[in-house]
């Protein structure tokens, strides 16, 4: 038996995923957008779960990169995406502060350290 590297999924081992804004939106990226749009107000999801939900486990960082650089992200509820610990991801600029404000405005309880209670407000994306 050949040992399958880094994936237990039985189906197609997906090729690598890219953002490629220049070539127009990748269908995978469009699915990601849809998913993020479905996160209800007052709830959050994580980078990793979103990645897995579009069929790309281990691509959490890709979701982060997408939100950081794609103009498409502007029209999305990007503030409802936090890391696996429920913490607002750190980065340069006013992003984190703004994200915190937006979450609080939706009634989400955010700790001073920037953490939300996942047990209470994590939204589980539905696989498609």
Partner DNA sequence: CTCGTGACTTTGT
Partner DNA sequence: TACAAAGCCACGA
91 part of the interface to DNA, by CB under 7 A = yes
Interacting residue with DNA among 36, 39, 78, 100 (CB under 7 A): 78
Q: Is the dihedral of CA 96, 101, 105, 110 positive or negative?
A: positive
Under rule CB under 7 A, residue 23 binds DNA: no
Contact flag: residue 109 with DNA (CB under 7 A): no
Q: Where are the strands (E) in 1-128, listed by range?
A: 45-46, 81-82
> Could you count the other beta carbons within 10 Å of the beta carbon of residue 48?
16
**Shortest distance in whole angstroms from residue 36 CB to DNA:** 10
Instruction: Rule CB under 7 A: say whether 53 interacts with DNA.
Output: no
Q: Which stretch binds DNA (CB under 7 A): 30-38, 59-67, 102-110, 120-128?
A: 59-67
Told to check if 61 binds DNA by CB under 7 A, we report yes
Paired strand residues for 87: 115
The residue among 108, 57, 59 whose CA lies nearest residue 86 is 108
């Amino acid at each position: 038996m050949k040992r399958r590297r880094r994936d237990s999924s039985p189906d197609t081992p997906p090729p690598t995923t890219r953002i490629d804004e220049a070539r127009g939106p990748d269908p995978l990226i469009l699915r990601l957008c849809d998913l993020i749009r479905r996160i209800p107000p007052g709830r959050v999801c994580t980078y990793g779960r979103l990645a897995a939900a579009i069929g790309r486990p281990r691509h959490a960082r890709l979701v982060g990169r997408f939100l950081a650089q794609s103009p498409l992200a502007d029209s999305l509820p990007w503030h409802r995406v936090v890391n696996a610990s429920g913490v607002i991801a750190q980065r340069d600029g006013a992003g984190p502060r703004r994200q915190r404000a937006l979450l609080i405005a939706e009634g989400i309880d955010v700790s001073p350290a920037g953490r939300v209670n996942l047990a209470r407000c994590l939204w589980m994306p539905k696989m498609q």
